[in-house]
Chains A and B, each alone.
Chain A
Amino acid sequence: MQTQPLTERLSWLVPTIYIVFLLLPIYWLVNMSFKETSEILSTFSLWPQNPTLRNYQVIFTDPSWYNGYINSIIYVVMNTVISVTAALPAAYAFSRYRFLGDKHLFFWLLTNRMAPPAVFALPFFQLYSAFGLIDTHIAVALAHCLFNVPLAVWILEGFMSGVPKEIDETAYIDGYSFPRFFVKIFMPLIASGIGVAAFFCFMFSWVELLLARTLTTTDAKPIAATMTRTVSASGLDWGVLAAAGVLTIIPGALVIYFVRNYIAKGFALGRV
């Protein structure tokens, strides 16, 4: 066994330092979430002196807080389902057929991913007001389709192009109808692609705030918007704010944990 050069042996240091840099601010938030606001403001310590669960208790007992989480999860799931369902046949069409204007259509779809949400905030508000959809979950779910549908089509098209066309033809010869072939044979083949697409739709819908906040007032208000409520007459309640922040990180962390193997594989097989 050849001895490795010093640079190779020390290479683990680079990701380690980077991860420490990533985790420090998150640690600080977690640290704060276990402190009373008075302790946050009066003493400076690297860990809570009197650990308390009061902040979390506030959130789990107050409906206006925990409903924020429920609202966010409802519209994120709706958006993921709508985006992936609509994108599946379209991605199949783009990967298998040539048709009038296909290339232009594909680029036009991608341009919607480039549209700044700030541009759309006001017209969205007027459009959804006209349909009476303001403050409903479906409004936010539809608005997020703006950037998630093109992304889902883009990712799925990459995966589908990787499946040889002979599989389609064999299935037709065996007497499968198109819908049955698509659901029974094709979808299992691109399962990891669907997983990756769903992950990205979930991610971008979960983190978006500008549109979600513009389109909701009370009934469908996302948690991220609820957080701005902590500014009260008595000043900012830092402890509760930190606890709410920590709780918004958890669903994302869970999702990453479940798709961790797909991420690397998905990137490698898909568009990359």
Chain B
Amino acid sequence: MEKTWNNKAWFMVLPVLVLVAFSAVIPLMTVVNYSVQDTFGNNEFFWAGTDWYVQVLTSDRFWDALTRNLIFSAIILAIEIPLGIIIALNMPKKGLGVPVCLVLMALPLLIPWNVVGTIWQVFGRVDIGLLGRTLEGMGINYNYVQNPVAAWVTLIVMDVWHWTSLVVLLCYAGLVSIPDAYYQAAKIDGASRWSVFRYIQLPKMKRVLLIAFLLRFMDSFMIYTEPFVVTGGGPGNSTTFLSIDLVKTAIGQFDLGPAAALSIIYFLIILLLSWIFYTVMTTSDAQG
């Protein structure tokens, strides 16, 4: 659509700006402020320069948490995106099945995150949980409280349970927007199931897939509540992700300087990666 040049439009954006400035800019400036200062208490602060950044960037704790976070996000994306596509492709296209599927699938998305944690904590427990009991009965050593592998598996299955539906809903919306004429043309050409997917459905879903990818990456990289409830970052440090580490530093130990520096670094990583995805997304948009 042709847009007119009108700087008065700023007045319409003003309410949003004021809101976001209050809820984002001021707090962010506080964080920046802390990250370059040190204190001995009594609200007396003095300049500390980049000390905290150096301290965070040279600590093993930061790199370990970052590695765990990246591995977690990679596994999540590798499972949820293909699974979401497969389910969306097999969803009913019309009839009573559609609202039933949509409502049931959207259900996990609207459960408060700590309740998701509680559900899986209960479900996975060896003494009272269905999953834990069943696996134990099958002779598999599964105890997410003590076994790091079991803890990781639990978190990954939980995230797949929680968020695959978002990918499904997005892909499904992309699929239903394809006109029937495309499929008829493919049928006349005698296209195989695979080529229909490769040349019609996949290109049409490209945009939604990128949105799904971006949202899932950002959210899995920021994951806090669910692992906090289920494992509390343990056993040991095996499921301590960046945000768990951050809250431990900031609120548990009240180390404002390192926590603030960690916040800024963390935010910059997400910003950088998201900017890369965003650029890829918009340039591929322009091409086709």
Contact = CB atoms under 8 A, between A and B. Distances in A.
Interface of A: 7, 11-15, 18-19, 21-26, 28-29, 32, 40-41, 44, 46, 82, 85-87, 89-90, 92-100, 102, 105, 107, 109-124, 126-127, 142-143, 145-146, 149-150, 153, 161, 164-165, 203, 206-210, 223-224, 227-228, 238, 241-242, 245, 248-249, 251-253, 255-257, 260-261, 263-264, 266-268, 271-272
A207 B113 contact: yes
Interface SS majority for chain A? helix
Nearest to A252: B110
Given A116-B266, A252-B110, A41 B128 contact: yes
B86 A14 contact: yes
A85 to B, nearest CB: 8
A161 B1 contact: yes
Contact of B27 (A87, A107, A123): A123
Contacts of A112: 20, 24
- Report the 9 A-B pairs with minimum CB-CB distance, sorted nearest first: A252-B110, A267-B173, A123-B27, A118-B243, A93-B9, A93-B12, A14-B90, A97-B9, A123-B30
B256 to A, nearest CB: 8
Contacts of B22: 142
A115 B24 contact: yes
B167 to A, nearest CB: 11
Contacts of A126: 30
Interface SS majority for chain B? helix
A241 B90 contact: no
B92 interface: yes
B6 interface: yes
A252 B107 CA distance: 7
A143 B30 contact: no
A86 B15 contact: yes
Contacts of A208: 112-113
Nearest to B274: A114
Contacts of A238: 122, 128
Given A89-B13, A99-B6, A124-B27, 4 more contacts: A98-B4, A127-B26, A207-B109, A267-B172
13 contacts: A19-B104, A86-B16, A86-B19, A98-B6, A114-B271, A115-B267, A115-B270, A116-B222, A119-B266, A123-B26, A127-B30, A228-B114, A245-B119
